[in-house]
């Protein structure tokens, strides 16, 4: 969805404001690398693991595993896709289950499919999927919200991807000072305005600022996401502040993990939300132009070894 140009002035950790002109959002499509086939150690590629691979979707098959009269197998999802015809011999499939293969699968133990990314776990065949859906070593989705980007990878890869492919602004430091300017603020539509990545405490954080419809009224929202798992995100806090004409709004919270999608965080209203009338009041003037200055900081809570009290650790 296209938007008017938005001027943003940003400064971090004493760096002087510099003018940044944001153009229309462009939809980018990227392809992630194909996952590696995971082979059970000690088996050749033509072994049991390959027999458990659906010939249509190439995913591992789970009960019910169907077969035709000639013994060719496929998964239950693909059975409907092939209109009840065997994709190998074109014979009618019927409702024959391959119980022998299901029993063989039940006896297997396989490594997590993310073992090449560092996961050391081995699971019974039928427990593997549940673990893989929550595995801490699974790739992260691209956190860019301005397009349906399908790229996945580890954090260093995604940081490079955001910088090189999405042209996202990168800043070092744990404080920020952004100025958002937009003409015709009454024409707000659902659209992402800006993503900025900050590097501090050896970690990466995504600052989102956008406009969207909340019921019948347009609102503006800013929130922070941590590029890592939720357990690590809890070690950090952040604050956001916006104001003008002698008034201010302040938000403090814990950044959400990028495991939670951008839409999930936005729809939970977990961030600084500014109603349009308040935003225009902060902007001053004749209410025909939006001018918001959002400042904030990120800090890490550290345990005081003497008193057991958490004290904030601010980066310099």
Q: In this structure, what token pair is assigned to residue 289?
A: 């132009």
The confidence score (pLDDT) of residue 156 equals 95
- According to DSSP, the β-strands at 217-226 and 109-111 are unpaired
- According to DSSP, the β-strands at 140-141 and 247-253 are unpaired
CA nearest neighbour of 102 among 75, 84, 69: 75
Q: The whole model's pTM is what?
A: 0.70
The confidence score (pLDDT) of residue 70 equals 92
CA nearest neighbour of 161 among 140, 187, 190, 178: 140
Tell me the per-residue pLDDT of 192-238, one tens digit each, with 9 for 90 and over.
568 899 999 999 999 998 888 777 777 889 999 999 999 999 999 99
The confidence score (pLDDT) of residue 303 equals 57
pLDDT < 50: residue spans in the chain? 1-46, 190, 309-310, 316
Q: In this structure, what is the dihedral angle of CA atoms 81, 86, 87, 88, given to the nearest 10 degrees?
A: 170
Q: Which helix (H) or strand (E) holds 131?
A: helix 128-134
The confidence score (pLDDT) of residue 106 equals 86
**145 alpha-carbon distance from chain centroid:** 9
Tell me the per-residue pLDDT of 136-174, one tens digit each, with 9 for 90 and over.
899 999 999 766 789 999 999 999 999 999 999 999 999
User: What is the C-alpha to C-alpha distance for residues 144 and 107, in angstroms, rounded to an integer?
Assistant: 42
Query: Exposed/middle/buried for 41, CB within 10 Å: 0-12, 13-18, 19+?
Result: exposed
Within 8 A by CB and 6+ apart from 181, the residues are: 6, 7, 8, 289, 290, 291
User: What is the C-alpha to C-alpha distance for residues 142 and 79, in angstroms, rounded to an integer?
Assistant: 32
The confidence score (pLDDT) of residue 60 equals 86
Mark 261-285 as b/e (b = at least 16 C-beta within 10 Å).
Answer: ebeebbeeebbbbbebebbbebbee
């Amino acid at each position: 969805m296209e938007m008017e140009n938005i001027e943003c002035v940003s400064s971090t950790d004493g760096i002087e404001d510099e003018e940044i002109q944001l153009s229309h959002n462009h939809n980018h499509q990227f392809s992630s690398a194909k996952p590696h086939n995971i082979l059970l150690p000690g088996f050749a590629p033509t072994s049991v693991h390959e027999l458990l691979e659906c010939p249509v979707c190439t995913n591992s098959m789970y009960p019910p595993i169907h077969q035709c009269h000639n013994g060719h197998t496929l998964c239950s999802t693909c059975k409907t896709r092939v209109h009840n015809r065997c994709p190998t011999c074109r014979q009618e499939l019927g409702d024959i289950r391959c119980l022998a293969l299901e029993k063989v699968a039940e006896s297997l133990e396989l490594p997590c499919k993310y073992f090449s990314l560092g996961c050391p776990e081995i699971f019974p065949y039928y427990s593997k999927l549940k673990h893989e859906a929550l595995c801490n070593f699974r790739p992260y989705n691209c956190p860019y919200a301005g397009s349906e980007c399908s790229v996945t990878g580890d954090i260093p890869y995604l940081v490079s991807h955001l910088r090189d492919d999405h042209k996202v602004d990168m800043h070092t430091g744990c404080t920020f000072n952004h100025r958002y300017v937009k003409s015709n603020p009454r024409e707000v539509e659902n659209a992402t305005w800006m993503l900025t990545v900050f590097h501090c405490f050896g970690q990466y954080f995504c600052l989102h600022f956008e406009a969207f419809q909340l019921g019948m009224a347009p609102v503006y929202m800013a929130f922070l996401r941590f590029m890592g798992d939720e357990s690590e995100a809890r070690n950090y806090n952040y604050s956001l502040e916006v104001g003008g004409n002698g008034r201010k709004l302040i938000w403090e919270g814990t950044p959400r993990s990028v495991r939670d999608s951008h839409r999930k965080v936005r729809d939970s209203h977990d961030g600084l939300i500014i109603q349009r009338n308040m935003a225009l009041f902060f902007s001053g003037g004749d209410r025909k132009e939006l001018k918001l200055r959002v400042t904030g900081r990120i800090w890490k809570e550290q345990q005081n070894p003497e008193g057991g009290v958490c004290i904030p650790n601010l980066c310099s």
